[in-house]
Structure formats: structure tokens, C-alpha cells
Amino acid sequence: MSPVDAGGAQEFLEAIIASFSVLGGGMAYASGFAAAGAFAEGQPPEILAHRINVGIADGFKFASPLSIAALIIVLWT
């Protein structure tokens, strides 16, 4: 049985946390931007909720590659 490198496991967890932070930040930005636009237009709550959901999906689409890049960068350094 081989010993587990605690330092390597910690670095891997830090990389995963950084990756999910980038993904969550992108999703929060996109949904907040969509919500602010809908609110500024005076949209009803149903449209506002739909815009937030679409913003979350758009944020996932553009932040997913960035989160993978963040994972690779943190693991590489």
C-alpha cells in the first residue's frame, strides 16, 4: 500500500476550489447582469426570474472553459 501525499492532495483540493470559484463567479456575474437589465426595464417578476435563470445558464457557458483553465493553471504552478 502506497502512502498518500498530503501536500499533493491539498494542492489538488485548492485547484478544485479555485476552479469552482471561477465558475460560480461567472454564473453570479451573468445572472446579476441579466437581473439588473430586467429590473431597469421594469419587467414583471416572472420575466425577471426567467432572465436570472437564462443568465445563470449563460454564465455557465462562458465560465466553464475559464474554470478549466483556472484548474490547469493552479495545478501547473
- Res 22 pLDDT > 60: yes
- CB-based contact 52:30 (threshold 8 Å): no
- Res 2 pLDDT > 80: no
Three-state SS sequence of 5-72: CHHHHHHHHHHHHHHHHHHHHHHHHHHHHHHHHHHHCCCCHHHHHHHHHHHHHHHHHHHHHHHHHHHH
- Res 4 pLDDT > 70: no
Determine phi and psi for 36, rounding to 5 degrees: -65, -40
Q: What's the confidence (pLDDT) of residue 3?
A: 64
44-72 residue pLDDT tens: 999 999 999 999 999 999 999 999 999 99
pLDDT band at 6 (very low <50, low <70, confident <90, very high): low
